Amino acid sequence: MKHSILFLSVLIFCSVGISGALNAGPEEQTVYVIPVQDMVEPAMAAYIKRALKDAQIKKNTLIVFKMDTFGGRVDAALDIVDTISNIPMGQTVAYVEKRAISAGALIALSSSQLFMKNNTIIGDCAPIINTQDGQQMAGEKIQTVLRARFRALAKKNNYPLVLAESMVTIDMEVYEVIIDNEKTYMNKKMYNDLTDTEKKKIQSKKTIVAEGELLTMDDREAFDLGFSRKSVQNMEEMLLLLGYGSAQVITMDESWSESFVRFLQPFLPILMLLGIGALYMEMKAPGFGFPGFAGIACLSLVLFGQYLVGLANYTEVLILLIGILFLGIEVFVLPGFGVAGFTGLIVIGAGLVLSFQNFVIPDPALPWERALLMTNIARVFGVLLSGFFISVLMIRFVLPGLSKRVGGGPYLQTSLEAAHAGVMQDMGLTEKDTGVAHSFLRPSGKVMIKGKKIDAITRGEFVETGTPVVIEKIEHNRVIVKPLKSET
């Protein structure tokens, strides 16, 4: 009897424990979907870092990178790869929704697993650089670094090593070789290094990647070659296969600021051109007005965008402020366009160059950094020169005519057409009188004629201080002068 009661008590205790465990249930599963779409650039790298930081990655958390990109910048892609590599093994999946080409293939292979939707493609990661002759294949230095990264990712995530390298190297020929009923992949050099005895054991040999081609696969080929786990109809099917069919799915969309920054990227050269041109026009006009505010606003938008993507920091902001300070000295303190103005433009240019990259001095181990530095210097200082010449043309030809056309408004009926008579009579000035420029005429300033300092203006020409001038015309109480050398 006692044994029966004891047995019944143990049975009840176990039942309660099992029931409690069943009611507790497994830990809640969560899937975070991060779209990797359009151009791979620093703005995308910043967005993915922010999304992974906001995601609460736990034991039952899965990160899905939804791929649809033709690629982009190498530095941004490697930054994204480093970010993904820090996630615990087995918690990342690349889902190719449409395509993962070039830098997109590198990002996809950095995930622990790869799934592809039906009729999608992946591959072709040839590094391309822009030259004077157009786009060309990057040199061996860049290809070597990328091959090393592909090998590392292939080893980590158990992808075919030689095939991964063939996505980068266009002169690599890869064979599928079956020896002793085991399939393996060899490049041409590895095959030629086989001994005669080993070659006799070969049961079949098939060329997978021909020389002069880069490996590009559709979903079925990626599955057959050991890259993709499976071709699926949609993401729901993939999550069901992974055991996350009932998990909570959260899509990590871009914030408004990230979307705004990506929208600004194609217009950065135009904003720089407008900003530099407006600042130069401001230096040629008295006081501080609309061109100055417009120039600072355009350059601030450029720097703001680069700051949000992580390329610019307080150093670049400080450099830009120092450049604007030099321009302020040129406008308000020193006449003309001299050392302060030139230094200000150079400093602003240097700040903009640094804001387009995440390094100061290129790393010799990362050869694309040198190419990126040269591209940024050419872009920024090309914009500086273009802005300078465009603003000169605006001041010389556009603004004088524009001021006459838009100068309408309510006026007093009495005109001052004869007001110049007072100037000629009171000051004794007549046309053809000569003198010298007392200040820099840009185009207005002061001249010294007959020992008298008077206000004068040119017809858009810039005249240095001390240059001999002659009165060309006196009209509407204005004295219009020109350099005396033009008379000669």
The DSSP line for 155-179 is HHHT--HHHHHTTT-TT--EEEEEE
pLDDT at position 126: 77
Q: Quick check: 163 pLDDT over 70?
A: yes
Q: Are 217 and 123 in contact (CB under 8 A)?
A: yes
Q: Of residues 88 and 304, which shows the higher confidence score?
A: 88
Give CA angle at 121 (119, 125), nearest 5°.
175
Burial 396-413 (b: 16+ CB within 10 A, else e): eeebeeeeeeeeeeeeee
**CA–CA dist 208, 386 (Å, integer):** 50
Q: How far, in Å, CA of 150 to CA of 166, rounded?
A: 9
Residue 110 has pLDDT above 90, yes or no: yes
Q: 361 pLDDT exceeds 70?
A: yes
Residues 214 and 128: beta-carbon distance below 8 Å: no
Superfamily of structural domain 419-487: Nucleic acid-binding proteins (2.40.50.140)
Higher pLDDT, 241 or 410: 241
Provide mean pLDDT across the span 85-109. Answer: 93
Question: What percent of the chain has pLDDT above 90?
Answer: 24
- Nearest 5°: the CA angle 436, 442, 443 is 80
Rg over alpha carbons for the chain, rounded to the nearest Å, is 35
What is the mean pLDDT of the segment spanning 308-334? 71
- 475/422 Cα distance (integer angstroms): 11
Please tell me the predicted confidence (pLDDT) of residue 241: 94
Distances (CA, A) of 64 to 91, 95, 149, 185, 452: 9, 7, 21, 29, 80
- Measured between alpha carbons, how far is 106 from 102 in angstroms, rounded to an integer? 7
- Position 240 scores a pLDDT of 95
Query: How far apart are the C-alpha atoms of 193 and 220, rounded to whole Å?
Result: 31
Does residue 66 contact residue 84 with C-beta atoms inside 8 Å?
Answer: no
Residue 93 C-beta-side C-alpha neighbours within 13 Å: 22
pLDDT of amino acid 308: 65
Checking if the pLDDT of 13 tops 50, the result is: no
Q: Of 440, 429, 442, nearest to 472 (Cα)?
A: 429
pLDDT of residue 279: 73
What pLDDT, on the 0 to 100 scale, is given for residue 370?
77
Identify the top-confidence range among 10-19, 176-185, 300-309, 439-448.
176-185
Q: What is the pLDDT of residue 372?
A: 76
Q: What is the mean pLDDT of the chain?
A: 79
Give the angle 112-115-121 at the CA atoms, nearest 5°: 115
* Whether the model pTM is above 0.85: no
Q: What is the CATH number of domain 27-139+218-254?
A: 3.90.226.10
454, β-bridge pairs: 447
